[in-house]
Amino acid sequence: MKILVTGGAGFIGSHLVDHLMSLHEEVWVADNLSSGSLTNLSKCINQDGFNFVKSDLSATTGLKKVLTGCEVVYHLAANPEVRVSLASPWDHYKQNIKAVFNLLEAVRSVDSVRQLVFTSSSTVYGEASVIPTPEEYGPMKPISLYGASKLAGESLISGYASLYGFKALILRLGNVVGFRSNHGVISDFLAKLEKDPKGLEVLGDGNQSKSYLHVSDCISGIMHGLGASDDQVNIFNLSSPDRVNVKTIAETVAETVGAKSCKIKCTGGVDGGRGWPGDVKMMQLSVDKMLNTGWKPKYNSHQAIQHAARELYNV
């Protein structure tokens, strides 16, 4: 089976490619390498059945050619930055909305694609009033442009799948952590501690509390969700069933690097203790729908943080 993974040189994408290659599939990776790296694909790059195309999905050149003959498309390519200071509105539009539109236009122009898998985000819910938040929650009011762009992608995919006859699986991910991650709270804390092992700055009031998912559980959940998808458009939350606060994460990372006595200083943050504008202060996804299909994560949120911190520190 020919499979396309967009963003396959990135953090989650490369782990997915490793798994698909272990199944002896014909795997094509499309990535512009803006945040991903060919180093992430070092295990696969010389294997039979692996193919890499440097491609920017915000342009349409070559997409139809790559998609011809593909049965399943995993769309992971995106700008992952939530903070406004690290990604502009144009970045989110081009990489998270226009890229989805261009991909869907190419998908409908070939007759081979039968399933599209899209990694969305918990940020589509915004400041949910129901915790844990189920898939049926609404209305969804994202408070970041990243969340808004992911919700727009979901809507486009739902419309195209319904009109043009392919199945879609939309996975709203919690915060995914683990080996090969190059951004997010653990990477930020490790970089800060490398500069100053005696002090660690935490953005916000330290009480921000969210669900975390180890990348190995993320990959198992993606594959399980694909097998459990019966409807034309299927939506699942994918995360651990609990949450952990950012101060605990800071303490865990400090302990991992042997800086248990470092002084943790919370900045106080903005808008009621958020780390930055658009930061959802409390997020916990309901994963009952996934659990009811027989999937279960190996790690809870705190265990995922501990495991990921060790992986990233020992690189």
pLDDT at position 84, please? 62
Q: What is the largest CA-CA distance in the chain?
A: 60
Angle made by CA atoms 252, 254, 259, in degrees to the nearest 5: 140
Q: What are phi and psi of 260, to 5 degrees?
A: -60, -30
Tens place of pLDDT per residue across the chain (315 aa): 899 999 999 999 999 999 999 999 999 999 999 889 999 999 999 999 999 999 989 887 778 889 999 999 999 999 877 776 667 899 899 999 999 999 999 999 998 999 999 999 999 999 999 999 999 999 999 999 999 999 999 999 999 999 999 999 999 999 999 999 988 999 999 999 999 999 999 999 999 999 999 999 999 999 999 999 889 999 999 999 999 999 999 999 999 999 989 999 999 999 999 999 999 999 999 999 999 999 999 999 999 999 999 999 985
How far is residue 14's CA from residue 105's CA, in Å, rounded to a whole number?
A: 25
Rg (CA), the chain: 19
74 in catalytic set: no
Domain ranges of the chain: 2-176+212-238, 179-211+242-313
Per-residue pLDDT at 315: 55
Q: Which CATH number describes the domain made up of 179-211+242-313?
A: 3.90.25.10
End-to-end CA gap in the chain: 33
Q: Distances from the Cα of 186 to the Cαs of 163, 177, 276, in angstroms?
A: 41, 8, 16
Residue appearing with tokens 């349409």:
60
Q: Which residues of 221-257 are buried (b: 16+ CB within 10 A; e: fewer)?
A: bbbbbbebbeeebbbbbbbbbbbbbbbebbbbbbebb
The answer to whether the pTM exceeds 0.85 is: yes
Q: Hey, which bits of 55-136 come out as E strands?
A: 72-75, 115-121
pLDDT of 167 reads: 97
Six-digit token string for 278: 């658009």
* Confidence at residue 114, expressed as pLDDT on a 0 to 100 scale: 96
The whole-number pLDDT of residue 135 equals 98
Residues in the chain: 315
Q: Which CATH class is domain 2-176+212-238?
A: alpha beta
pLDDT at 73: 98
The whole-angstrom separation of Cα 190 and Cα 136 is 37
Active-site option among 146, 160, 212, 299: 146
Whether 9 and 40 have beta carbons less than 8 Å apart is answered as yes
